[in-house]
Chains A and B, each alone.
Chain A
Amino acid sequence: QKEVEQNSGPLSVPEGAIASLNCTYSDRGSQSFFWYRQYSGKSPELIMFIYSNGDKEDGRFTAQLNKASQYVSLLIRDSQPSDSATYLCAVNPNTGNQFYFGTGTSLTVIP
């Protein structure tokens, strides 16, 4: 079992819709969770992080964490074509000495 799993997609949504990206992790003691965005041919860029159960909002982005279900998600409201990218979920397990990325979900926002 991989430490972090994501649906590779591709996920397509129309402009203005809500995009929902999901991620599960295997280490129940994991403490911190991150969402990175990677445009084609570019490097990953941190867009959200969450440490506590519940929701965290930043502009059009909301990260949701459910530790009991070992599940973290990213919602993008009012999706724009410029949101088209691969979204990588990353987890810092309880051991603190590693950092695992999922394989990413490709999102396309259709104008």
Chain B
Amino acid sequence: DAGVIQSPRHEVTEMGQEVTLRCKPISGHDYLFWYRQTMMRGLELLIYFNNNVPIDDSGMPEDRFSAKMPNASFSTLKIQPSEPRDSAVYFCASSPGTRFFGEQFFGPGTRLTVL
């Protein structure tokens, strides 16, 4: 299996622009997670999906952030409008099922820089 795939790997944008991050989970995995990692705050869970349905979005920082999972093989995290404080590495992860909720496989991440 190719593992979790994320694109783009790097994104540089200007404040106010829309940013869309993409993720393809491991085939057959029921859970998909979006995380953000910064030096100050560490790794934070933003939102996760179970069978394409958002279960907990309490980590989404504000309304500028939105996430969708239109099918089992694709998810997006969108920031609109972006701000410099959104600069971070964004990881997508997937896990096989409820019993293995914490056994997550991470993608390579997207390094976002907002100028």
Contacts and interface: CB of A to CB of B under 8 A. Distances in A.
Interface of A: 32-34, 42-46, 49, 88, 90, 92, 96-104
Interface in B49-83: 55-56, 58
B45 A100 contact: yes
B7 to A, nearest CB: 14
A101 B42 CA distance: 8
B108 A99 contact: no
Where chain B touches its partner, the secondary structure class is: strand
21 contacts: A32-B102, A33-B102, A34-B102, A34-B103, A43-B91, A43-B108, A45-B106, A49-B103, A88-B43, A98-B45, A98-B56, A99-B45, A99-B48, A99-B101, A100-B45, A101-B43, A101-B45, A102-B42, A103-B42, A104-B42, A104-B43
Contact of B102 (A45, A90, A103, A104): A90
A92 B105 contact: no
Contact of B104 (A33, A46, A100, A104): A46
B103 A46 contact: yes
